[in-house]
Amino acid sequence: MKRRRRILRSLDLAEVSAVDRPAQEGAGAILRKSNTMNTQDIVKEAVGVHVDGQEPRYKADEYEAALLAIARMEQKPSENVVDAMARVASNGNPDVTALLFAADRVRARDAASVGKSNTMNDNLSAILSEADRVSKGAPPTVTRDAAEAAMLDLAKREARPGESVAVSFARLCESDARMQKLYDLGHAADVAEERVALAKGASGDERFDRLLVDMARLRKRAGETVEQCASRLLHEDATIRDAYAAVHGC
């Protein structure tokens, strides 16, 4: 008699442990952490802009931050954010298409309203100059979010006739030195923010501060530094507060 297989669709795990003799060799365990930015609402609104012609309610960088959040959520253990973004973009994900469309529409609207059609190019040029400076050993003065937004701007500017921004992004990630410099700039900015947060410390306990900074890197909102996110988590996250109390014996 053939053994019946069942799929578990709702399961609460109290513990995940490593063992010396696994029951299912080769199986992988994937843990995902939620992003505090309301990505789902932004995506839903972007789809309305793309499909139904609604007027955008968010800023261009908020749509792009949601796009980067999707890339981070879909990021495989062996991938960096750039590779994840290129893969998600090349798959023709409708949410990604909607977010890019909405961001473009906001920029076009803003440019028309203030008569500055070169705003994106001016900002991109400034970030590229910063990336070149950092590649020579200078400390970064911009955030990771700014560097990653510039990567999207570069893909939009360099898109070929008939080529979508998503395909342009994937192409540039493979061969364009400017894209690599922008990625390196984002990484350097991330490391710099982390060092500042660790140097200030939240508890005086090195292990707790390291954990808090790691959490802040994963959960920081668009435009928020690692240090600012760490401070917010100490006030808003009950688990973090309990861990802080345990460190201090409160």
pLDDT digits (tens, 9 = 90+) for 158-180: 888 888 888 899 899 988 999 99
In a domain, 195, yes or no: no
User: Per the structure, how many domains does the chain have?
Assistant: 2
Same domain for 217 and 98, yes or no, is no
Global confidence as pTM: 0.47
What gap in Å lies between CA 142 and CA 109, rounded to an integer? Answer: 25
Lowest mean pLDDT among 85-89, 109-113, 216-220: 109-113
Q: Mark which of 139, 165, 190 sits at the end of a domain.
A: 190
The reply to whether 119 and 241 lie within a common domain is no
Same domain, 113 and 226: no
Which of residues 159, 190, 221 is at a domain's end?
190
Query: Are 66 and 172 found together in one domain?
Result: yes
Residue 60 lies in a domain: yes
Do 121 and 240 lie in a common domain? no
Please indicate, yes or no, if residue 115 is contained in any of the structural domains. Answer: yes
Residues 88, 160, single domain; the answer is yes
N residues, the chain? 250
**Chosen domain end from 169, 190, 211:** 190
- Considering the domain architecture, whether residues 63 and 159 belong to the same structural domain is answered as yes
CA dist 140 and 130 (Å) reads 7
- Whether 214 has a pLDDT exceeding 70, the answer reads yes
Q: Which of 61, 58, 54, 60 is nearest to 41 (CA)?
A: 58
Q: What residue numbers bound the domain in which 247 lies?
A: 201-250
For the ranges 67-81, 163-177, 226-240, the lowest mean pLDDT is seen at: 226-240
> What is the percent of the chain with per-residue pLDDT over 70, rounded to a whole number?
76
Among 51-65, 93-107, 227-241, which stretch is predicted with the lowest mean pLDDT?
Answer: 227-241
Q: Are residues 185 and 132 in the same domain?
A: yes
